[in-house]
Structures are given as C-alpha cells and as structure tokens.
Structure 1
Amino acid sequence: MHPFRFAHAAGDDWREIADACLDQLARVPAAANLGFLYVTDALAEDLDELLAQLKDATGVRAWVGAVGIGICATGTEYYEEPAAALMLGEFPPDGFRVFPGLVDEDLDAFDARHGEWIAERRPNLGLVHGDPTSGVSEDLIKALAQRTAAGFLVGGLASSRGTTYTIANGLHQGGLSGVLFAEGVGLLTRLSQGCSPIGPHRTITKAQRNIVMTLDGRPALDVLKEDIGEVLSRDLMRIGGYIFVGLPITGSDTGDYLVRNLVGLDPTEGLVAVGDLMEQGRSLIFCRRDTGTAREDLDRMLKALAGRLTGPPRGGVYCTCLGRGVNLFGPDSAELRQIRDTLGDFPLVGFYANGEISRDRLYGYTGVLTLFT
C-alpha cells in the first residue's frame, strides 16, 4: 500500500480551489478508491459542484467528509475564507463501506444493508461525521459503535454559520454518516483533552437536572472555590472559558473524561450549573484549559502515537474542536504545526468540529487524530 495523496488550497471560488487541488495531486494513483474532503463553510453552497468535479477528475467515486467553520491540512489551518482540503486513500476493494445519514438509533435498515459485510469484514473502526442541527445523540453514536469489532468510532459534528453538510458519497443533512474500515486496515487513533484536572475527584451528592447542589456533602460552589484556589475565587467572573467540569469515564484505563462547560453559579445558594445533566453519585473533577496545558496534552498524545508507529503514516484525519486551533494554540497554524513537527510531514486533512467523537462518546474541546498505517 502506498502513501495517500493530498492537496489543499484557498481561493476566490470553488473552481479555482478545485483546479489548485487537482494541480497539486498531479497524478491520481490508479488504486486510489476513497476520498476525504473537508471544506470551509464559505464553500457549503458550492459543495455539490465541487464534489462532482473532484469525482470526475480523479475517478474516485467514494467520498466522506464535512463542512467546517475551519479546516486543516498538514501544518496548515484555514478560516474565514473559501478553502478545501482533500486526500485520496488506497484500500483493499472490500476494505471499507461508506454509509449515508443515520437519523436514530434504530439501525434495522442499516443492518439489512451492511450487516453481511460487517459480519464478514469485522470493521474495527468507523470515521463518522454528524449534523449538529439534527441533534445527533450519544445513543446513536453508541449504537453504531457497537457495529464495529472494537466498539470504536472517530470523527466529529460538522460546523457552519450557514448550511451544514456531511459527505458520504453525496451530500447529506441530518444524522450521522461516514465510512467503516474492515479488519486488516492499519489504524491508530488517540485523543487530546486539552484540559488538565486541578482538583481531586468529587462525588455529586445532590443534583437536579444540570444543577449541582452539593459535592462530597458540601455546597458545590464552596468545593469549586477550594479547587480553583484563592486568587480565582476572589473574582469568579475570570473563570469563564478557563475552568470547566470534567466527568470521568467509568472503566477508562487512560483517565479519560468528558469536558463540559460551566454555565452558571449561584453564590447565594452555593450552586453550580453545568452544560450537561448531572446525576447523584457520579464523579466530577474541575479542570482548567489554557494554551500551556493544551500544548502539553497534545504533545503527550502525539508521543504516544509516535511510539506505536513503525514508519511514516500513509495518511491521517484530524477532527479538532472549534475552541482549539487559533483560539487556544495561537496563530500561524500552531496546532497543526505541532502535529507535523512531532510525527513528520505526512498527508493529513481534517476540520474544526462542533463536537468530537471518539470510541462511542461525544466530546468537547478535544482533538481526535486518526492515522492510517
């Protein structure tokens, strides 16, 4: 199997961008049979024509991807301009299966269409893209993950200031779409949280919907102040966008946790409001997110992947949060350059998501990197 071919470009319109990408490809390998395409939302209304042009020019009929407010390629990020990043992969003819939008966790029709292939090819992983406007649920993500041998999905929810599309051979709105990769396709994946715990695990001892009333039997706000320290506690207005809630995942062997926003504080009653439903008895940790912790955690993730590689990746897909990129790592494509500097100058495409998917869960503020080996 050969390294993937990739291209990326910005321009004034979709035709200029398509021509620039095709010029970079120069030659499409005869064995290329799956394309990955990510475009900024400025190209959303032209995506159908762009995709058709790429299919005709490359001869590759199977494509997956999504629209993003930002997109990325090897060492490069694009925002606020029409841009596209594409990659052509070579897989065994029966080594993948593209599927269109799934809208609920009842997968009877999906099983009828793909069940025989799944039973024979035992897919280890699926790359999926969801439409956030349709309320893609964690139940749907879990149900689809169960169709893989490893119970593993990667990907993210499309992001757009206008029309939201995902790509699964054609354009789709609503639900979850993507591609399953058969057993034997070489894959590695890890996620970077971008946050760092700042206190011990706490137990929610009283909660109502998204309101935490007590932690470890004490007023939740008192515990928050204790964990964030005296300086921040003097001015709680400063913690927005810096302090978050982490919900540890039961059974995780890597200390994994879901990051959720703090959405309100009640100093009078000592309450803390979180951007998710809170359950009595569940563990909770407070964590911080800043440039330093994000870079350190990304470095940890990249070194873990590098230690498992036996050679340069053939290609990769990176689904990272809208809150990362230039907003967290700084300008000049710092997040993508960190990946390139650690793992090398290999073909990579991806986008900035409205929620990231890893294993069978929907995350926030994470970067999910998947490598084809």
Structure 2
Amino acid sequence: MTTQFPWAHATHPDWRMAASLCLAQIEHASRTETGRQATLGFLYLTDHFAEASDDILAFLRERTGITHWTGAIGVGVAAGMAEYIDEPAMAFMLADFSPDDFQVFSGKSRPPAREARTPNGRSASWTALVHADASTPDLPELLQDMAGKIAGDTLFGGVSSSRHANALIADGIFAGGLSGVVLSENIQVESRISQGCQPIGPVHRVTASAGRLLNRLDDAPALDVLLRDMGAPTEWAPSIVQGVPVAPDARKQQAASTVQMLQGTFIGFGEGDAFLRGNYPVRPLVGVDPHERALAMGAELDDADHVVFCRRDRHAAQVDLIRACTELRETIETRYGSMDRIRGALYISCLGRTGTLFGGPSAEMQLVQQQLGDVPLIGLFANGEIYGDRISWYTGVLVTFL
C-alpha cells in the first residue's frame, strides 16, 4: 500500500493545546520516511484562532521543521469524518513532495511561470491549490489570470470565511488577493466537483437571452420549458406567477404546488461539454416574466449556450456527492490501478452546505470518507469554492494526491 501523508485534527479553546494534540497524533509519523521527509504542510484553522494564526504557524514550523505551509481560515474546518463548525479547531496534513515540484505563492512570492520546467523536464506549473480572501475586489478576474498561468490541469481551492479578519496561509499570514501552492506535473492529482443538486430534465440550448434573462430555450419560451421539465402544466403559468385567483379550487391547489416547486429551482449553465464533466456553475432562479414567459437567473449568462434546471435538497445533495466520488474512484482505479494509491485528500465545501443539507452534523464528511475509504482527509468550509477558473457556491471540491 502507498505510504499516506501524516495528518491530524483537534479542537480546544487554547490553540497551544489544540496544536499539541495534533502533533501528538502525528508523532509516530516522524519515525516514518514520509514524516521525516515532509516538505509541505496543508493547514486549516477555524476563525476562533484567527488572531493567533501567526503564532500557530510559527509553533508548527518550529515543532515539525517544515518551512512551507499553505491554507486558510474558515468558520468551519473538517478532517476525516468530523466537521468543526463555529468552534476552535485546526486540521493539517504533511506532504513529502520534492522541493522542485511545488512552490508556495502569495502577494509577496510569485508563482512559477507557465513555461517553467522541473529538473526532469516536466511542467513546473501544472495545477494549483488556491485560497482567496473574500474581501478582495475583482476575484473572478484574478482567478482567470491565475488559471492562465497554469499549463495543465485545473485550479482548486476555496475562499476564506471568517467573522474576523480573513487570513490566508502561504509561508506566512496574509490578507487580500490569492495565495496557495503551485504543483508540478510530477505530482499526480485527481479532482471532482459536486454541485449539491440534481438535474430535473435534459440540457437545453439557449436560443434567446439577454444578461440574466433567459427568453427562449430550444426555440421555445423558457418558462414553458422549465414547467415541462417539472411536470407542471404550462397553461397555468400566468396565473401562478401573478397570483391571480381565477382558477377552480383544484387548479389553485396545483398552482400553489407549482409555485413551491419553482422556489427550489436552480439553473446550471455553461458551454455544451461542461455538462459532460459535471463542471458548471449553478445559480438560483430569481424570477419569471409571465408575459414574455422568460426566466431571470442569479448570474449573467456570459458565453453560456446551454442550461439545465436543477433541484437542491438533501437527497439531491447526497446523490450528487456520491456521483462525484464514484467518478473519482473510477478514474483512479482505471489510471492508477487501485484506490490504495491515494496518499491524501482535501475537501473544500461551502459553509452553506453545513447543518441539515446532508442530514445532520458531520454527515457530509462521513459520506466523503465512506466513499474514499481510509485515507488522510482534511478540509475547509469556505465562502465560495474554486474549481477551474471560477468561484462556485454550494458546491464541494474533492482533491486527491496520488
């Protein structure tokens, strides 16, 4: 079996005690080859420890001898099957990457150039773990710029979430902008994104739109297409959205049911091939125009030419997370021969997914760990999830190192 990354997590009001508990958990790893040769630490802290983040990083550097660290602060962190929400906690994982195969970056340290090479001739800027400060203006543009600096695979990561000052960890404590670690082509990474919802119908082609307004799909009124996907009669739509009580009682009852269905509707959008990969942004349906039979969504369409209507509830979230994990497992087993090749994993989830969406405390992490098996797993509950060149919300980003 592949040697796994040492990892640890703990909760305690005193950060020194929490850090010491974590170090005690990985003490045995210091006697293994991976522990002795660790070169990079992934560190996530809850915002209860925001003011002590400088001291925590210095303490861990001194005790582990590891110089390079990357991470962020969130209202919640995760590890294994545990979720620590709104309590003082930390989680970290230690990797033994070759120093030639990673570079921590921040506002004070640039990432390697897109064309940079490792000593063995492979790309030095293949993929990147990125953390962002939520208070930074123009984050979408910064992410697109960062994605342009990556020669191969996708970006992944999250936006810090904190009720205090946001903090990013990148060989120091920073505020603002982006930070993280760029990984070379020599580091094998596989990732997936879970949208937390399920399509309720087929993918539709956008044939008329303006800004956030969907006018026609597949050459038919967008509202009619949505109602057909929902199994609702399209002829009742004007009375439904205007609330005009002109239908008989039976029709009123069905109209009310349709209104309730509309309130839980989301719209996934993107270019055609995005739907094959499950990598597309999802935004809520925010309104309808009964006269034009058009739909208003919570984002600009930009260059999107296809949409799919979705539902987000507990069942849909569970099914989609299992779907993402299953696809990841199949890819790993096909390319690498066995899930035993996983050395460690990161999971960045939306803070809005905590609580009842998955059925109770820690239910989301329990599902991820059950799907992956017994592998080192830590994560962050973010204020937005980074995958590709954009920020998503209410999603879960799962990353494995092999």
> Fold conserved (TM > 0.5)?
yes
Distance (whole Å) between structure 2 residues aligned to residue 114 and residue 248 of structure 1: 30
One-letter code of the match for 2:27?
Answer: A
Matched with 1:74 is 80
Larger fraction in strand: 1
> Of the candidates 260, 263, 285, which is equivalent to residue 283 of structure 2?
260
Say whether the 8 Å CA contact 2:114–2:150 is kept in structure 1: no
Residue 144 of structure 1: CA displacement?
1.8
- Identity across matched positions, percent: 41
Matched with 1:244 is 266
Matched with 1:13 is 14
Matched with 1:292 is 315
Question: Could you say what secondary structure the match of 2:18 adopts?
Answer: helix
Distance (whole Å) between structure 2 residues aligned to residue 277 and residue 116 of structure 1: 30
> Of the candidates 36, 46, 68, which is equivalent to residue 42 of structure 2?
36
Task: Select the structure of larger CA radius of gyration.
Answer: 2
Matched with 1:276 is 299
Distance (whole Å) between structure 1 residues aligned to residue 318 and residue 130 of structure 2: 26
Say whether the 8 Å CA contact 2:213–2:297 is kept in structure 1: yes
Identify if the C-alpha distance between structure 1 residues 358 and 241 changes in structure 2 by more than 3 Å, giving closer, same or farther.
farther
Say whether the 8 Å CA contact 2:272–2:305 is kept in structure 1: no
Identify if the C-alpha distance between structure 1 residues 161 and 182 changes in structure 2 by more than 3 Å, giving closer, same or farther.
same
Q: Which stretch shows the higher mean deviation, 213-222 or 341-350?
A: 213-222
One-letter code of the match for 1:21?
Answer: C
Residue 243 of structure 1: CA displacement?
1.5
Residue 264 of structure 1: CA displacement?
3.3
Identify if the C-alpha distance between structure 1 residues 37 and 240 changes in structure 2 by more than 3 Å, giving closer, same or farther.
farther
Matched with 1:115 is 113
Matched with 2:58 is 52
Question: Could you say what secondary structure the match of 1:60 adopts?
Answer: coil
Residue 222 of structure 1: CA displacement?
3.9
Residue 157 of structure 1: CA displacement?
1.1
Distance (whole Å) between structure 2 residues aligned to residue 115 and residue 286 of structure 1: 40
Say whether the 8 Å CA contact 1:136–1:176 is kept in structure 2: no
Distance (whole Å) between structure 1 residues aligned to residue 288 and residue 222 of structure 2: 9
Residue 47 of structure 1: CA displacement?
1.3
Distance (whole Å) between structure 1 residues aligned to residue 129 and residue 77 of structure 2: 16
Say whether the 8 Å CA contact 1:55–1:61 is kept in structure 2: yes
Distance (whole Å) between structure 1 residues aligned to residue 78 and residue 72 of structure 2: 12
Say whether the 8 Å CA contact 2:354–2:361 is kept in structure 1: no
Larger fraction in helix: 2
Matched with 2:243 is none
Identify if the C-alpha distance between structure 1 residues 153 and 274 changes in structure 2 by more than 3 Å, giving closer, same or farther.
same
Deviations 1:59-84 (A, max 9, x none): 11111111112111111111011111
Residue 365 of structure 1: CA displacement?
2.1
Say whether the 8 Å CA contact 1:203–1:282 is kept in structure 2: yes
Within 5 A, what are the aligned runs for 1:208-219? 208-216=210-218, 218-219=220-221
Matched with 1:105 is none
Q: Verify: 1:177 aligned to 2:183, yes or no.
A: no
Residue 370 of structure 1: CA displacement?
0.9
One-letter code of the match for 1:339?
Answer: V
Distance (whole Å) between structure 1 residues aligned to residue 329 and residue 208 of structure 2: 43
Matched with 1:319 is 348
One-letter code of the match for 1:225?
Answer: L
Superposition CA RMSD, Å? 2.6
5+ residue gaps, structure 2, are 233-252
Distance (whole Å) between structure 1 residues aligned to residue 306 and residue 325 of structure 2: 28
Matched with 1:186 is 188
One-letter code of the match for 2:112?
Answer: H
One-letter code of the match for 1:52?
Answer: A
Question: Could you say what secondary structure the match of 2:106 adopts?
Answer: strand
Residue 178 of structure 1: CA displacement?
0.6
Q: Verify: 1:371 aligned to 2:400, yes or no.
A: yes
Question: Could you say what secondary structure the match of 2:173 adopts?
Answer: strand
Residue 241 of structure 1: CA displacement?
6.9
One-letter code of the match for 1:335?
Answer: E
5+ residue gaps, structure 1, are 103-108
Which TM-score applies when normalising by structure 2? 0.82
Identify if the C-alpha distance between structure 1 residues 281 and 173 changes in structure 2 by more than 3 Å, giving closer, same or farther.
closer
